[in-house]
Amino acid sequence: MSKMNIGGVMEEVVTDDEFTLEKAREVLKDETIAILGYGVQGPGQGLNLLDNGFKVIIGQRESEKEYWDKAIADGFVPGKTLFPIEEAAKRGTIVMMLLSDAGQKMVWPVIKPYMTEGKALYFSHGFSIVYKEQTGVVPPENIDVILVAPKGSGLTVRRNFLDGSGINSSIAVFQDYTGRAYDRTCAIGIAVGSGYLFPTTFENEVYSDLTGERGVLMGCLAGVMEAQYNCLRKNGHTPSEAFNETVEELTQSLIRLVAENGMDWMYANCSTTAQRGALDWKGRFREAVVPVFDDLYERVKSGKETAIVLDVNSAPDYREKLQVELDAIKNMEMWRAGAVLRELRPERRKK
């Protein structure tokens, strides 16, 4: 583990130079990794593990045909490497809980009997453990409880692995019964394609993750985009102009500069007019949203947000209602304009 000065704070980071893939294979050579849930994170982590030479089986409800069939299409074989959830949990020595948070609450009573001495229970989110009063997920004391949380969607985990760029992940050990929990954690972190790992706790992971998703990463981003697009349209700008100034320039140009070398570098490589305006206005936007973020973080920490997630996502008609909400976004003028304008990108017109 390396100590690095990150933003003036000394932090510990594990890279794949220090904890190599070969070391990960040695640590996990006798393990059977059972992935429960083949929805969002399951395919990315599962296929990366498989490509890296680890023994992987999938646990999935056959009644959820979309995910069962996807696992088969990806090469998993019913009765050999693809099983009902209970059977996979029984066979696995490391059981990866990659079901939705509501799904984990539902399935925990079924798989708990199979979490026998010396096994490891793995999460990619601290939700079930931290909010145990709401989920009922209380692991037995004679197993390891570990976390590897890739900082990206399941699609990104897989795409970055295939293009060789990898993805960073946070790691945590909640319970170390075997004395090998830390090595198991690092080994799987590297095995699923992480370029580097940074230690955290289950609590910090879930608090930061839920805040980020509702904030800058998704909720805030979408809301701010809608506000600016609507402002431009209200003032007579065309849909294409409003979309380009709100979304296309951000995603196709500016955010790439931020990713390369940071926000200061992006500012330095824009026009002087853009620089001046951004520097003058960023403080006003920051101060405007500080109260919103303070409220959001408190709601996350108190469990109010997770209570909503568990209640809504456990409803029998959840997927139907979700689709209505997603369709409402898809059918907004801004995103209908985006669908048309994306097809004008040179790489798409050349296909």
Active site residues: 125
What token pair was written down for 70?
């996807």
Which residue bears the tokens 């029984």?
90
List the alpha helices (DSSP H) in the chain.
21-27, 41-51, 65-73, 85-91, 101-111, 127-130, 132-135, 154-163, 181-191, 202-214, 219-234, 239-243, 249, 255-261, 263-268, 272-302, 304-313, 318-330, 333-342, 346-349
What token pair was written down for 283?
């403080």
Of 144, 122, 334, the C-alpha closest to 244 is 334
Contact 120, 86 (CB under 8 A): no
How far, CA to CA in Å, does 124 sit from each of 5, 26, 121? 26, 22, 11
Contact 88, 115 (CB under 8 A): no
Helices 304-313, 101-111: inter-axial angle, 10-degree rounding: 80
CA 157 to the chain's CA centroid: 9
Which residue bears the tokens 């399951």?
42
Of 94, 117, 100, the C-alpha closest to 34 is 94
Torsion of CA 277, 283, 287, 292, to 10 degrees: 70
Judge residue 208's burial from the number of C-beta atoms within 10 Å of its C-beta, 0-12 exposed, 13-18 middle, 19 or more buried: middle
Q: Which residues contact 139 (CB under 8 A, 6 or more apart)?
A: 115, 121, 129, 145, 175
Please state whether 193 falls in left (phi above 0), alpha (psi between -120 and 50) or beta: left
What token pair was written down for 341?
């304008």
